[in-house]
Structure 1
Amino acid sequence: MAKFLYVYHGSGKMPTDEAGRKAAMDAWTGWYGKLGSAVVDGGNPVGMSRTVLPSGKVENNGGSNPTAGYTVVEARDIDDAVAKAKECPILMDPAFSVEIAPIIEMM
Structure 2
Amino acid sequence: MPKFLLIYHGKPDLQSPEDGAKHMAAWKAWSAGLGAAVIDPGLPVGLSKTITPQGVEDHGGANPAAGMTVLQADTFEEAIELAKGCPHLSGTGTIEIAEAMDLEM
1:24 positional shift: 1.3
**Identity percentage of aligned residues:** 41
* C-alpha RMSD of the superposition: 1.6
How many corresponding residue pairs? 104
Preserved CA contact (<8 Å) 2:11 2:88: no
Q: What is the letter of the counterpart of residue 71 of structure 1?
A: T
Mean Cα displacement is larger for which, 58-67 or 23-32?
Answer: 58-67
1:51 positional shift: 1.2
Q: Which runs of 5+ in 1 are unaligned?
A: none
1:28 positional shift: 0.7
TM-score between both structures, scaled by the size of structure 2: 0.89
Q: Which runs of 5+ in 2 are unaligned?
A: none
- What is residue 25 of structure 2 aligned with on the other side? 26
Alpha-carbon distance in structure 1 between the residues aligned to 2:13 and 2:23: 12
User: Alpha carbons of 1:3 and 1:86: their partners in 2 closer, same or farther (altered >3 Å)?
Assistant: same
- What is residue 79 of structure 2 aligned with on the other side? 81
1:46-65 equivalences under 5 Å are 46-55=45-54, 57-65=55-63
4+ long deviations beyond 4 Å? 11-16
- What is residue 96 of structure 2 aligned with on the other side? 99
- What is residue 5 of structure 1 aligned with on the other side? 5
